[in-house]
Amino acid sequence: MHIQIVSVGKLKEKYLVQGIAEYAKRLGSYIKLTLTEVPDEKAPEVLSPAEERQVKQREGERILSSIKDDAHVIALAIGGELWSSEDLASHLDKLGTYGTSHVAFVIGGSLGLSDEVLGRANKKLSFGRLTYPHQLMRLILVEQIYRAMRINRGEPYHK
């Protein structure tokens, strides 16, 4: 299985880069993992609703251009479904079993995802009602994918 994580913006924080690299290394024996960063749209701190839509649309175009047409897309969105780690493991296991070899998780920028990206998503996944920095979300997601792989193989992992 090939899992791609598409995210907006360049990851700069050393501790996040190191954490993601560690889980990516661990995942090497389970899946092929690709981390794709698309540039964020430069914008002033305060935006009108129309400007926010434009920023999300431009970032969304970059996201969509980096996803293969046959990918199963899971968008991270506050309004998405709430899954347990076991639910995520089961979903990925079913995708692999029934022939979906490419799964793309999408993490938007600070303003979220465009309607076009959300429309392309096969599933919308929420990690709860709390808001996390999108850079930190990358680390949380890659850890959860690792946990899912361990669950699917029946291997021990802390709860």
For residue range 41-55, what is the model confidence (pLDDT) as tens digits?
A: 988 888 999 999 999
Structure tokens at 72: 């199963």
- Position 29 pLDDT exceeds 70: yes
Phi and psi, residue 87, nearest 5°: -65, -45
pLDDT (average), residues 121-131? 94
Helix, strand, or coil (residue 48): coil
Tens digits of per-residue pLDDT, 88-119? Answer: 999 999 998 887 889 999 999 989 999 999 99
d(C-alpha 107, C-alpha 75), whole Å = 7
Q: What is the pLDDT of residue 44?
A: 80
Q: Which of 19-28, 33-42, 93-102, 143-152 has the lowest mean pLDDT?
A: 93-102
Q: Which helix (H) or strand (E) holds 56?
A: helix 49-65
The dihedral over CA atoms of 41, 42, 43, 45, expressed in degrees to the nearest 10, equals 110
Length of the chain: 159
Q: For the chain, give the longest Cα–Cα distance.
A: 49
**Buried/exposed 33-62: b ≥16 CB within 10 Å, e otherwise:** beeebbebbebeeeeeeeeeeebbebbbeb
% the chain with pLDDT above 70: 99
Question: Is the pTM for the entire model greater than 0.75?
Answer: yes
d(C-alpha 53, C-alpha 16), whole Å = 28
d(C-alpha 91, C-alpha 20), whole Å = 22
